[in-house]
Amino acid sequence: MAEIRLELIEKIEGEAQVRYHYEEGQVTFAEILFLNSRHIERILRGRDPLDALSINPRVCGICGHAHLIATVRALEGCFEGLRISDKARNIRELTLSLELLQNHFKWFYLTILPLLELEAPLERALEPARVAGEMIALLAGQYPHTSYALPGGICGEITPVDLLEFRHRLRRLQTLFRRYIVDVELEAFVHCERIEEMLGKSGDLPKAMRRILDRGWERLGQSHDRFIVFGEGLFHPGKSVGTRLREHLDLRYVREEIVPGTQARKVAYRDRPYETGPLARAMVMKTPLVKEAHRRYRDSLFTRILARICEIPRLIGYLDRLLKEIDLAQEAWIDPGSFPSEAEGTGIVEAARGSLIHRVSIREGRIREYEIITPTQWNLGNGTPEDPGVAQQALIGLRREDPTELVFKSFDVCSVCTTH
């Protein structure tokens, strides 16, 4: 018997609904509905380009920093011969990486563990987030919704004392990872190749993965097995279909499409849906533990959760390397000159949920068009029953007793970014 069930998705950034279509107790299709929009792109039209530095971080209360860095990179793309110092570039990378890191902790403890019916002490989410926020504030000032980056570099100078305080807190994050997530040397975890080795350690990650295995959920949530990454820095751009990797990407093939009945647009590359985010980044980078999980369970719930946590020690190591490279004698800001009256620019970053793309078109010194393509548009864009989107495909085939909410939230839904 056919049945339709509408479910409100709670405890996410913003609002979303899923309309599940069942046939004989099994999901045959799922419509993902985002009902509200703030129309940030429309608000930006006709404004001074620099206004975007204050407006765009407020697209999202979770990934505001990613939107800032994507904005400043898009604006910098409008200049000819613009330069920024290595110091400014590294400080931007430090603050952006910290936003990813604290997102990963909060998602794991506030979303995933409760859905697995495991103990999730609130401080295990909030303490790492607090420490990371303090580290961002040391380099960038106010957090969230920082506006410290601008074309040519960053505003404000940091001191040796700031770096000392930063390193002290970085050691604290290393300690918290081992104390809460998994008790193993961070570098050893990055290079771990055996799932059984990870499962044998103490910590909340092995506990969560064992719970998924014990309940027989490890193969649930498989999607198209197609992955895409546009950002650089710690990560590598490229796309992977299964395990076949292609490094060349062309932004001309990225297309948005309006979907009737929802405020969210879907996005595709060469007219095909691709998953973005930690699992995509791990597949393109060939992260050993994720490769092994993918070999066993493909792009499943198990592999997707594992991939996101595997990023935390990588990010901590990246922070340590960047910190050692900072030369305080370098300039924080290099004057790029007057803003061009007519230009176009693109800015790309890897946000917590995946690739974030900003495109700006300037005419007569004002923003003519501004386009923001967010990770949730890639992952939760609505397709059709014949050509479903990424999350839709992951939900199709689930039975009524299966953890549909867990599968859905393994993509880390962000409604406000999606309906900007």
Mention every residue, 6+ apart, whose C-beta is less than 8 A from residue 27: 20, 21, 395, 396, 397, 398, 399, 404
Tally of residues, the chain? 420
Mention every residue, 6+ apart, whose C-beta is less than 8 A from residue 33: 16, 17, 18, 19, 261, 262
Which residue, chain included where needed, has tokens 């950034």? 13
Q: What would the pLDDT profile of 203-253 be if each residue is shown by its tens digit?
A: 999 999 999 999 999 999 999 999 999 999 999 999 999 889 998 999 999
Structural domain of 168: 2-418
Instruction: Report the SS3 class of residue 260.
Output: coil
**Do residues 360 and 151 make contact, with C-beta atoms less than 8 angstroms apart?**
no
Q: What is the CATH number of the domain that holds 207?
A: 1.10.645.10
Residue 2's pLDDT is: 76
Residue 351's pLDDT is: 97
Can you say whether the dihedral through the CA atoms of 133, 139, 143, 149 is positive or negative?
negative
Adjacent-strand bridge partners of 10: none
Tell me the C-alpha distance between 350 and 277, whole Å: 8
Adjacent-strand bridge partners of 20: 5, 30
| Cα dihedral 69/73/74/78 (nearest 10) | 150
Residue 4's pLDDT is: 83
Residue 419's pLDDT is: 74
Residue 223: name the closest of 200, 235, 202, 240 by CA. 240
pLDDT of residue 1 exceeding 70, the answer is no
Q: Cite the beta strand spans of 52-200 per DSSP E.
A: 149-150, 153-154
Return the percentage of the chain with pLDDT > 70, whole number: 99
Residue 75: name the closest of 156, 157, 152 by CA. 152
- Compute the average pLDDT of residues 384-391: 95
pLDDT of residue 12 exceeding 80, the answer is no
Tell me the CA end-to-end span of the chain in Å, nearest whole number.
38
- DSSP strand pairing (2-9 vs 238-241): unpaired
Look up the pTM and report it: 0.96
Tokens encoding 380: 């939760």
Lowest mean pLDDT, pick from 59-63, 91-95, 162-166, 181-185: 59-63
Residue 213's pLDDT is: 98
> What is the count of structural domains for the chain?
1
Rg (CA), the chain: 21
Q: What would the pLDDT profile of 306-350 be if each residue is shown by its tens digit?
A: 999 999 999 999 999 999 999 999 999 999 999 899 999 999 999
Mean pLDDT value across the chain: 94
Percentages of the chain per state (helix, strand, coil), in multiples of 5: 45, 20, 35
CB count in 10 Å sphere of residue 119 = 11
CB count in 10 Å sphere of residue 48 = 13
Burial class (CB in 10 A: 0-12, 13-18, 19+), 384: exposed
- Compute the average pLDDT of residues 386-393: 96
Return the percentage of the chain with pLDDT > 90, whole number: 85
- Compute the average pLDDT of residues 170-197: 97
Residue 286's pLDDT is: 96
pLDDT of residue 35 exceeding 90, the answer is no
Tell me the C-alpha distance between 221 and 30, whole Å: 13
